Structure 1
Amino acid sequence: MRRTKAATMSVSALIVGMIALHEGYRGEAYDDGVGVQTIGFGSTAGVKRGDRTDPVRAVQRLAADATRVSQAVARCVGEVPLYQHEFDAYVSLTYNIGVNAFCGSTLVKRLRSTPPGYAEACREILRWNKAGGRIQKGLVRRREAEYALCVGTAQGG
């Protein structure tokens, strides 16, 4: 297995499923706990209080959102080659924390260093375990799963 440039990679079915499992499904818009209206499998763009969706539309939106996030991850990472499992872990993280947070993170700085700090970048995932300034058990579990995927020890990773 070889690392390839992130620009040539696309979101995998594995990570879309993993995101869906971590996010869970909600058919009606809800506050995510930090004031962001969310619907379906964690979609936030354009969501307003009272919005509704169904599982089919939610999966379609998740796939589109994950594709958009994967393109942003590729832009932020630049020319740094990655394994698919590393890329998938970064897409899952970015889907949850947002593109701006990911692109401005120490994780990306570690990846873009010379030589790339792959192990250090994967470890940075574990730091993103807070919402509203407090550690959240659900985020701790998600970050541990993303970290395992990133370092290649996850099942299927």
Structure 2
Amino acid sequence: MSAAALTLSTAAVSPYDAAQAGPKYASAQMMLEDQIDATKERVDVANLKVSDTMKEALAEEEGVRLTVYRDVAGYPTVGVGHLVLPEDGLSVGDRITYEQALEFLEQDLAKAEEGVRNLVNDLPLYQHEFDALVDLVYNVGEGNVSERKSPRLNAAIQSGDYTAMADQLNYTTAAGKVARGLEYRSERRQAIFMEAAYEDPRAVEVDSAGRANL
């Protein structure tokens, strides 16, 4: 399912919302007024939200499932990779509505965006770098990118070494085992961070006879 069908707004923070949000987003209004393009220069992460293109890539990776299932690590999951929480009141096999899936996605993206802001602090990012880090936090959880669990990633951030940051976006295990799907996702995440290349590297072309061109 294309993330475009999710009809979620990823517009930049509006001047009105920035003003209402207080000092944290005060610079967002200035960025909009000056027409700063985060695809061309790095900006303060307080001014960034995940892009529509990243949402589509995320939906491709996670899928959109309305029945609660167990992910590769055995955790109950639903919607667009939403980890079921006790307060959700859901068990494996339960179904949710499409609207609930959208709500979970909005909530989880907001948490992941905030997780990235906490991770990088005042280090400026391009839009595609921010997107890749949101995908990372969304996928592995903020706790797994902490200084204790991801010391090399944090060291790269603290030194402002973007190339070293890209090298540390490779998270491939679930429940202690390497998962091929996570290997592919890590490769894609690194391509997004380094080259703004959002395309699925697993995608294949099919000719008129239905043959895959590998």
Same fold by TM-score, threshold 0.5 exceeded?
A: yes
Q: Which runs of 5+ in 1 are unaligned?
A: none
State whether structure 2 residue 149 is matched by structure 1 residue 84: no
Partner of residue 42 from structure 1, selected from 72, 78, 81? 81
Question: Is the 8 Å Cα contact of residues 89 and 149 (structure 1) preserved in structure 2?
Answer: yes
Q: Which residue of 2 is the match for residue 121 of structure 1?
A: 165
CA positional deviation for 1:93: 1.0
Greater alpha carbon shift after TM alignment, 147-156 vs 10-19? 147-156
1:112 lines up with 2:112 in the alignment: no
Q: Report whether the alignment pairs 1:17 with 2:61.
A: no
Aligned to 1:28: 67
How far apart, CA to CA, are the structure 1 residues paired with 2:175 and 2:118?
28
Task: Please state how far the C-alpha of 1:91 moved relative to its aligned partner.
Answer: 0.3
Segments of structure 2 that go 5 or more residues without pairing to the other structure are 1-39, 200-214
Rounded Cα–Cα distance in structure 2 between residues aligned with 1:18 and 1:59: 16
After superposition, the Cα gap between the structure-2 partners of 1:111 and 1:40, relative to the gap in structure 1 and judged at 3 Å, is: same
Equivalent residue runs for 1:48-63 within 5 Å: 48-50=90-92, 51-63=94-106
Name the larger-Rg structure: 2
For residues 191 and 54 of structure 2, what CA distance do their matches in structure 1 show?
13
Kindly provide the CA deviation profile for residues 42-62 of structure 1, in whole angstroms up to 9, marking residues without a partner as x. 001425324321333213321
| Per-residue deviation, residues 28-85 of structure 1 (Å, max 9, x unmatched) | 1111132311111100142532432133321332132112211111122100011110
User: What whole-Å deviation, never above 9, does each CA across 1:89-128 have from its counterpart, x for those lacking one?
Assistant: 0000110100111233221321122xx11011111112x0
C-alpha contact (below 8 Å) 1:16/1:63 kept by paired residues: no
* RMSD (Å) for aligned C-alpha atoms: 1.7
2:65–2:80 Cα contact (<8 Å) kept: yes
| CA distance in 1: counterparts of 2:117 and 2:196, whole angstroms | 22
Matched, 1:149 2:195: no
Q: Summarize deviations over 1:118-157 as a string: whole Å, max 9, x none.
A: 011111112x01112221111111111110000025157x
Number of residue equivalences: 153
Contact 2:188–2:198 (Cα < 8 Å) also in 1: no
Corresponding residue number in structure 2 for 1:74: 117
Of stretches 84-93 and 47-56 in structure 1, the one that deviates more from structure 2 is 47-56
2 CA distance for matches of 1:155 and 1:94? 17
Indicate yes or no: 2:137 matched with 1:98: no
Q: Distance in 1 between matches of 2:64 and 2:74?
A: 18
